[in-house]
Chain A
Amino acid sequence: ETGVTQSPTHLIKTRGQQVTLRCSSQSGHNTVSWYQQALGQGPQFIFQYYREEENGRGNFPPRFSGLQFPNYSSELNVNALELDDSALYLCASSRRLGESYEQYFGPGTRLTVT
Chain B
Amino acid sequence: DQQVKQNSPSLSVQEGRISILNCDYTNSMFDYFLWYKKYPAEGPTFLISISSIKDKNEDGRFTVFLNKSAKHLSLHIVPSQPGDSAVYFCAASARSFGNEKLTFGTGTRLTIIP
Binding site for B on A (CB under 8 A): 4, 6, 31, 33, 35, 40-45, 48, 55-56, 58, 90, 92, 94, 99-108
Contact = CB atoms under 8 A, between A and B. Distances in A.
Contacts of B49: 100, 102
Given A102-B46, A105-B43, A42 B100 contact: no
Interface residues of B, number: 22
A58 B99 CA distance: 11
A44 B102 CA distance: 8
Interface of B: 4, 34, 36, 41-46, 49, 51, 89, 91, 99-107
Contacts of A102: 34, 46, 49
A90 B43 contact: yes
Contacts of B101: 33, 45, 48, 56, 58
A43 B36 CA distance: 11
Nearest to A101: B100
